[in-house]
């Protein structure tokens, strides 16, 4: 019946044998190594995921620890800042009071120094004006008076000075 279809039984058996040999060779040299490679790759990917999960868990634990530490540090910092503000307010009052006292003292000293400097300047100005007046008078007298007139003026000045008692 197979021969009626035009199929040669020897060729069919030879083709089936070749196919089975080819399948055996492909299975042994390609399919099994390919499956082994896929299994290894699957295992390495699974290991990577497991490692990533472990790393994430450790990172989460560390993050929670750090957050707890940060919360504690922030609470301590707030307490320290609060204490520092209270101390600073107390010290600020004392410093302001001391600064006001020093400023008052400095103002009093500055006013006294200004008054001294003003008095000295006035005295120096009086002395300079007197010197200038004397020099001007000398120049005028030298030009206008002769020896006898100068003697007469000096005598008059000495008499007036003696009468007034050299007052300031």
Domains of the chain by residue range: 8-146
Q: What's the mean pLDDT in 117-146?
A: 77
Q: What secondary structure, in 3-state letters, does the chain show?
A: CCHHHCCCHHHHHHHHHHHHHHHHHHHHHHHHHHHHHHHHHHHHHHHHHHHHHHHHHHHHHHHHHHHHHHHHHHHHHHHHHHHHHHHHHHHHHHHHHHHHHHHHHHHHHHHHHHHHHHHHHHHHHHHHHHHHHHHHHHHHHHHHCCHHHHHHHHHHHHHHHHHHCCCC
| pLDDT band at 162; cut points 50, 70, 90 | low
> What pLDDT is recorded for position 152?
78
pLDDT exceeding 70 applies to what percent of the chain?
A: 88
pLDDT > 70? residue 158: yes
pLDDT > 60? residue 137: yes
> What pLDDT is recorded for position 163?
65
CA torsion sign, 27 to 31 to 36 to 37? positive
pLDDT single digits (tens) 90-119:
988 888 899 999 999 999 999 999 999 999
> What pLDDT is recorded for position 165?
52
User: Residue 95's Cα: distance from chain center in Å?
Assistant: 26
C-alpha distances out from residue 47 to 26, 34, 43, 50, Å: 30, 20, 6, 5
| pLDDT band at 166; cut points 50, 70, 90 | very low
> What pTM did the predictor assign?
0.36
């Amino acid at each position: 019946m197979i021969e009626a279809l035009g199929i040669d039984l020897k060729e069919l058996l030879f083709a089936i044998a070749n196919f089975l040999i080819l399948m055996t060779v492909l299975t042994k040299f390609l399919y099994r190594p390919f499956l082994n490679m896929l299994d290894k790759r699957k295992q390495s990917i699974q290991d990577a995921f497991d490692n990533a999960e472990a790393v994430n868990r450790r990172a989460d634990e560390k993050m929670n620890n750090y957050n707890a530490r940060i919360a504690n540090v922030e609470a301590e910092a707030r307490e320290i800042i609060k204490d520092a503000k209270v101390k600073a307010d107390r010290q600020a009052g004392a410093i302001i009071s001391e600064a006001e006292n020093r400023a008052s003292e400095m103002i009093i000293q500055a006013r006294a120094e200004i008054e001294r400097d003003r008095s000295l300047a006035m005295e120096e100005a009086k002395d300079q004006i007197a010197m200038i007046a004397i020099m001007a008078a000398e120049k005028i007298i030298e030009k206008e008076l002769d020896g006898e007139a100068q003697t007469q003026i000096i005598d008059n000045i000495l008499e007036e000075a003696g009468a007034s008692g050299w007052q300031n």
